[in-house]
Amino acid sequence: MQNYIRKRAVKIANHILQTSNTVRQTAEVFGISKSTVHKDVSERLPRINRDLAEMVRCILDKNKAERHIRGGEATRQKYASME
């Protein structure tokens, strides 16, 4: 694995830990695809730093569990602005 990929994976992980951002939000911040963020934190990071990967996984699991709430809120705001 290239050194810059390792550094990116750790940088992404630290960002998620500090901000609790979703994969999409993190991808936007770093200017990369959400697929790359997901691959970095789910496949590459555990090989680099298992403890860091577990902490990030907890945050991403929480975000995934809450996504239906964020989606519902976005829909509510959309229709509220149409009135």
The more confident residue out of 76 and 5 is: 5
Sign of the torsion formed by the C-alpha atoms of 68, 74, 79 and 83:
positive
Given this model, what pLDDT does residue 66 score? 82
So what's the pLDDT on residue 74?
Answer: 73
Q: What Cα–Cα distance (Å) separates residue 35 from each residue in 24, 72, 75, 76, 78? A: 9, 24, 25, 28, 27
Give the integer Cα–Cα distance in Å for 74 and 29. Answer: 20
pTM of the complete model: 0.80
Q: How far apart are the C-alpha atoms of 34 and 31, rounded to whole Å?
A: 9
Look at residue 22 and tell me whether its pLDDT is greater than 90: yes
Whether the predicted pLDDT of 26 surpasses 80: yes
**Rounded CA gap, 51 and 20, in Å?**
17
